[in-house]
Amino acid sequence: MGKINLEEFVWFDLGPKPPEMMINVSETGGFTFNRPAREALPSHIKIGILPDGKRVCVVEDPASGYTLPKSGTVTRPELVEHIVSAGVVLPARYSMRQEGNAWVAELQAPTAKKRPPAKNPRKISKSAEESILKELKDGGRR
């Protein structure tokens, strides 16, 4: 093997991942902004959702008087009802970015739920196996 030419490689900076602003909508009706989103958003907001439920827009609205709670969870059933009626399956995740004076969130593809590992089938004794096989052979009669 010869000398490695480092200029042939495509290099990636593996520094800290930039925080991603997200909105999570739970099956219990919570519309939750994660910490990076809470830190980026103004304290008084209003929320708009497209009719298809795939985009959410957040803008500053000091006149509304609605203050985003410290927890980041907005408990307004009408928000969740709107996205569900549009066909969005819960739980849903939206990735958010700032565009000018607004924050726009796009619906992300649902993640597959992890299934619990299948239980190991119980082993049956040799005599029980023979009994079952005999019963099957006799047509299920005892």
Q: What is the DSSP string of 21-47?
A: EEEEE-TTS-EEE-HHHHHHS-SBEEE
Residue 139: inside a domain, yes or no? no
Tokens of 47: 């929320």
Nearest to 20 by CA among 38, 2, 45, 46: 38
Residue 125: inside a domain, yes or no? no
Q: Between 50 and 126, name the one with better pLDDT.
A: 50
Residue 6: inside a domain, yes or no? no
pLDDT of residue 118: 63
30, 102 contact by CB (below 8 A): no
The three-class DSSP label of residue 140 is coil
Confidence of residue 2 (pLDDT cuts 50, 70, 90): confident
Residue 25: inside a domain, yes or no? yes
What is the rounded CA–CA span in Å between residue 121 and residue 14?
44
Residue 123: inside a domain, yes or no? no
49, 79 contact by CB (below 8 A): yes
- Residues 63-72: tens digit of each pLDDT: 876 788 889 9
| Residue range of the domain that includes 103 | 21-107
Does the predicted model carry a pTM greater than 0.75?
no
Residue 7: inside a domain, yes or no? no
Across 54-62, average pLDDT: 94
Confidence of residue 131 (pLDDT cuts 50, 70, 90): confident
Nearest to 106 by CA among 116, 92, 87: 92
Residue 124: inside a domain, yes or no? no
pLDDT of residue 99: 94
Domain total in the chain = 1
Residue 31: inside a domain, yes or no? yes
Confidence of residue 140 (pLDDT cuts 50, 70, 90): low
